[in-house]
Amino acid sequence: MFTHSNFIATLTLAFALTLCAAFLLPAALTAVERRDRVVLRGNSFPAIIERETREGIEYRITPSQPNVQTRRWSEVVEIRYAGMEGGLFQAGMNDMRAGRYEEAATRFNALATGATREWEGAYGFYHLGEAWERAGDYEQAAAAFAALAGAFPEHRFWLDALYRRGINLAHIGNPEAQTVIDELLNYRAQNPAVGRGPEFRANAIRAVMQARAGQINEARRTANSVALAPRDGDTWFHWGNYWAQFLFNQGEFRDAAQQFQRMLTQVEDNPAQRAQLSLGLGVSLARGGGDRSQAIMELLKLDTLPYGSPAQRCEAQFWAGRLMLAEARENKDNEDDRISSFARTQYQRAILLLQAAAASISDSPAKAEAQNLLDQLQPEERGEEAEGGAPVLVEE
């Protein structure tokens, strides 16, 4: 729960960043070489982006240009800010991909609090909150998203910052989550043209509050009313993945697998999101949510394709190796020579996957689980060959 000191610190930081936006941004415009790049459908151009708003971007082509130009979000495909490649932002993103969330939080905090441009403050706080959330520190995550919403009330991240703050507060049972719900619903009432997005976000927070209170049936009904879609960007993915993980943690592996599968059919060309969904689907299937062969196929995607973080790859290798080992043991004495021969090949592959997981550079819990499974094998199972050239398959 927020303390008085945390609240004051958030307000102070928000005020400081507002001053940064007002007084320091013009100084950044003196460096033409630090121009950003705006990517449109079919072309791109260099610019100096002054602001991101809910409607679009405001920018100048050169620092001396007297008036800002605008582009609506419907025209903009991507923004590449000068400074994103390298420095604190890039280092923080590398830490995130490696599963080093606390280290990432340190870098994003430094980026946000030392901001001289709007994007550094807004993106710094956004990813700071995300890093703390992934690290399991929901209070600090909520504080980071609150700082973002307070410092940049016109930014396109504002609505999502409110949502993420509310989700994290609800996760720890902080009653201020209801305040966020009220703020979202009030914004919807005062701005009917924005559609039902704020309402869907409010319902998502309410579903988490109900789930935490043990009102599972009510939470399910509320969650079913959250009609977010890929056009809602990160919030769609965050909520869908969050709810699938909730179902998984409830032991409802089949429902979780269905949620992950549904999202995979909707997700756009985003390798990081696909990796996370494939892992969620594979592990849900592995835990009893469906066919074991389908689980192995889904998990092996992260082992063979060039996307996914080291932590995700480690977990996928562990589960795929564990499932393949179990399947190989079941089929090792099959009367059909083709099946028993395949079982020996599958067994070798399982051992390699478990060894790769155990040697992972990540801090994933699956790393220790893979090593424990390897330690339980007989010496000949760990690589010594039996007569005939194939590892001996020993029953557990």
C-alpha 164/C-alpha 171 separation (Å) is 10
Model pLDDT, residue 33: 54
Q: How confident is the model at residue 16 (pLDDT cuts 50, 70, 90)?
A: very low
C-alpha 156/C-alpha 72 separation (Å) is 11
Model pLDDT, residue 247: 92
Is residue 103 pLDDT above 70, yes or no?
A: yes
Model pLDDT, residue 267: 87
Lowest mean pLDDT among 15-24, 76-85, 115-124, 209-218: 15-24
Q: Cβ neighbours of residue 235 under 8 Å, at least 6 residues apart?
A: 159, 160, 163, 201, 228
Q: Is 331 helix (H, G, I), strand (E, B) or coil?
A: helix
Is residue 388 pLDDT above 50, yes or no?
A: no
Lowest mean pLDDT among 7-16, 66-75, 307-316: 7-16
Model pLDDT, residue 307: 74
Helices 197-212 and 158-171 cross at an angle (nearest 10°) of 10
Compute the C-alpha angle 52/55/57, nearest 5°: 35
Percent of the chain past pLDDT 70, that is, above it, reads 87
Burial of 42 (0-12, 13-18, 19+ CB in 10 A): exposed
Question: Does residue 108 or residue 14 have the better pLDDT?
Answer: 108
Query: Which two three-digit tokens encode residue 97?
Result: 């991909």
Model pLDDT, residue 97: 80
Tell me if 133 sits within 8 A of 146, measured CB to CB. Answer: no
Model pLDDT, residue 301: 85
Q: How confident is the model at residue 160 (pLDDT cuts 50, 70, 90)?
A: very high
Read off the pLDDT of residues 283-339 as tens digits, 9 standing for 90 and up. Answer: 999 998 678 889 999 999 887 777 778 888 999 999 999 999 999 988 888 888 898
C-alpha 200/C-alpha 222 separation (Å) is 10
Q: Is 44 helix (H, G, I), strand (E, B) or coil?
A: strand
Is residue 138 pLDDT above 70, yes or no?
A: yes
Q: How far is CA 203 from the centre of its chain?
A: 20
What dihedral do alpha carbons 176, 181, 187, 189 form, nearest 10°?
-140
Find where tokens 């870098």 sit. 107
Tell me if 89 sits within 8 A of 111, measured CB to CB. Answer: yes
Model pLDDT, residue 306: 72
The one-letter amino acid code at 253 reads: F
Q: How confident is the model at residue 382 (pLDDT cuts 50, 70, 90)?
A: low
What dihedral do alpha carbons 335, 339, 344, 345 form, nearest 10°?
170
Query: Which two three-digit tokens encode residue 153?
Result: 């009330």
Model pLDDT, residue 383: 54
Percent of the chain past pLDDT 90, that is, above it, reads 65
pLDDT mean over 256-266: 93
Is residue 109 pLDDT above 60, yes or no?
A: yes
pLDDT mean over 197-221: 95
What dihedral do alpha carbons 302, 303, 306, 307 form, nearest 10°?
30
Q: How confident is the model at residue 378 (pLDDT cuts 50, 70, 90)?
A: low
The alpha-helical segments, DSSP class H, found in the chain are: 4-19, 25-28, 87-97, 101-113, 118-135, 138-151, 158-171, 176-190, 197-212, 216-224, 234-249, 253-266, 271-284, 292-304, 310-331, 337-358, 365-375
Comparing C-alpha atoms, which of 134, 141, 145 is closest to residue 95? 134
Lowest mean pLDDT among 109-113, 217-221, 307-311, 392-396: 392-396
CA 120 to each of CA 76, 78, 111, 215: distance values in angstroms, whole numbers, following the listed order: 19, 16, 6, 40
Tell me if 96 sits within 8 A of 131, measured CB to CB. Answer: yes
- Give all strands of the β-sheet with 76-80 in edge-to-edge order: 69-72, 56-60, 44-52, 36-40, 76-80
Query: Which two three-digit tokens encode residue 187?
Result: 């914004």
C-alpha 281/C-alpha 143 separation (Å) is 31
Q: How confident is the model at residue 379 (pLDDT cuts 50, 70, 90)?
A: low
pLDDT mean over 167-195: 96
Report pTM.
0.80
Lowest mean pLDDT among 15-29, 55-69, 148-162: 15-29
Q: What is the mean pLDDT of the chain?
A: 86
